[in-house]
Amino acid sequence: MMIGSRTRFSLRLVGLIVLLMLTIFALYVALGRVTDDALFVLVMILVLTPLRRLLDCRARAKWAVFLTKDAAYGRITEAGIEYNEFFRSHSADWAQIRCVEHFADSGRTKIYLLGKSRPVQFGRSTKEGLGTSTVRELLKNQVHCSGGDFIECHPERTLTL
């Protein structure tokens, strides 16, 4: 049974790269109007900003979670989950899974593994056939049998006037 989507991962990766390139170009054009040495200032901004963010532990963790959103895709097997994350293959036995969070509204699933600080994030599967409720039930049963926790997250209700 499939979990996550390779297509969603690829589209998100391409979208982030295009957005980054457009932002760098717009910043270069804006700097060109203000200073004669726009390329030097741009390089300094592109080097110093990520360096500053890397030194802040809280910001580093938030960026890591943001960049790995929907990055995993793979399949659920009897032994555990075999998945790819950033073009590398991984596998996790059911005993290694500490907690699973499933978001009913978006179909996303976060899996927390023993020994890893950040979750493995799966997006909604684009494959037709078995629905997200089947994936949810299978994960729930397997995780509970192996002693892990399954958390089902529902969207927050917003008050509309």
What are the pLDDT digits (tens) for 92-133? 898 888 888 888 777 788 888 888 888 888 888 765 445 556
Nearest to 94 by CA among 116, 71, 117, 111: 111
Nearest to 139 by CA among 106, 107, 115, 105: 107
The residue assigned the tokens 């938030």 is: 62
50: tokens are 């990520």
pLDDT of residue 82: 92
Task: Give the global pTM.
Answer: 0.67
- Which structural domains are found in the chain, ordered by start? 1-161 (2.30.29)
Distance CA 115, CA 103 (A): 23
Distance CA 120, CA 110 (A): 6
